[in-house]
Chain A
Amino acid sequence: MECVFGLVGNGFAIVAADTSAVHSILLHKNNEDKIMVLDSHKLIAASGEPGDRVQFTEYVQKNVSLYQFRNGLPLTTSAAANFTRGELATALRKNPYSVNILMAGYDKEAGASLYYIDYIATLHKVDKGAFGYGSYFSLSTMDRHYRSDMTVEEAIELVDKCILEIRSRLVIAPPNFVIKIVDKDGAREYGWRLSVNDVTTAAV
């Protein structure tokens, strides 16, 4: 099952997601990027049904862009999160989207923030959050070691601890993860954690 988790540190927010695209027992792809860059200073890490995940996050991304074009101002992370929750809530009793979202962003006034939005349109502003079976292992690890003024290095150590815990304890653990960070310099990819390389040039 898909593992997504994230935390807020001192002036930055980090999200990590697994990169497996699974279809019943088959792993179709082990380098699928599930963390979308929403705009220059926002990230959406999404997990859920394949069609819904891509379609809904693209829908949010395009609407955020549209607001920026129309009004000449980017949305704050809080506004984007509330918009996303509103769309999920409107669709919930007609045509629900099965997507869980962690939205991380940086605003000049509010600093770094992380929003937890689940598939039934719950919205919480959190310091740390997680979705999927991996959450059973990563939440307690984060609860134990988290402090609100962590540096990037300390936060990455904590993320790696969580990934190690998921890999060693979850029975069908995803092999690879991608980590992205957002801070005052923008939203960008931090790194990958690969335990299975995509074999494209096998020296067999």
Chain B
Amino acid sequence: MKLDTSGFETTMPVIGFGSNSEMLDGVSSVPSFDLPRTTDFDGFQKKSVEMVKPAKGTTTLAFIFKEGVMVAADSRASMGGYISSQSVKKIIEINPYMLGTMAGGAADCQFWHRNLGIKCRLHELANKRRISVSGASKLLANMLYSYRGMGLSVGTMIAGWDETGPGLYYVDNEGGRLKGDRFSVGSGSPYAYGVLDSGYKFDMSIEEASELARRSIYHATFRDGASGGVASVYHVGPQGWTKLSGDDVGELHYHYYPVAPATAEHVMEEAA
């Protein structure tokens, strides 16, 4: 497994202390990187890997049905107990017919999905045909596998439509890759599974499926503190993906459970 070490190469030439510059002429720079300034280097590495682990505070889901693939996600980013953003784009557009969902480290997911998009485009140019969803997810799984144990935090689903029809794969930072019809990833995923599994039918219309996806995300954001913001719903069909809706879950709550105006028994009136 060859790692991509292009980030390690420095552009600054290595110059020794007070040595003759003639000796260093023509000597190429040595690949190097700065070590962190800490007394406990081994423990520091382990701590930074452990710090990223509890992440994946999110709810994303995707399922295959008669009309294609439905993909939905919330939009909250949290750092421990602090909500750092309510408007994160967790559904990443890899190319016009493939979507990826983000759970885990935002930077990791954004970078590796962009990287996957590049690899998919290169495949198209080299082979004069689009890459399959199976192939794209395998590329991502292999890339993540080569970095296993190094603290990447990525729990993603690759959803798309290729020659064999709709495709859905789950890929994570341990290098696992699963093909399936229904997945939900993130801290709110058990809640989403509860609503998704009980309401799922293969023969749904696009409206029914998008409502099921939206409802599942809403219920997960209701119970899970690390999920919230806006519930985005995308549909992937034979012509590619389209964004169907993006509703604030706070507003959705009152839409599903409107507050009946309470009848007052005693009304205080202004003294005339």
Contact = CB atoms under 8 A, between A and B. Distances in A.
Given A28-B170, A50-B176, A51-B145, A198 B181 contact: yes
Task: Give the contact-size bracket for chain B.
Answer: 20 to 34
A55 B145 CA distance: 8
Nearest to A21: B178
A204 interface: yes
Interface stretch (B16-24, B91-99, B195-203): B195-203
B175 A199 contact: no
B202 A50 contact: no
Interface string A147-186: 0000000000000000000000000000000000000000
Contact of B178 (A28, A52, A202): A28
B180 A51 contact: no
Interface in B175-229: 175-178, 180-181, 183, 189-190, 193, 197-203
B148 interface: yes
A50 B170 CA distance: 12
Nearest to B190: A26
22 contacts: A26-B190, A26-B193, A28-B178, A29-B178, A29-B180, A49-B174, A49-B176, A50-B175, A50-B178, A51-B141, A51-B148, A51-B175, A51-B177, A54-B177, A198-B181, A199-B200, A200-B181, A201-B202, A201-B203, A204-B198, A204-B199, A204-B201
Given A25-B190, A28-B178, A51-B141, 8 more contacts: A26-B190, A28-B180, A49-B174, A49-B175, A50-B178, A54-B177, A199-B197, A204-B199
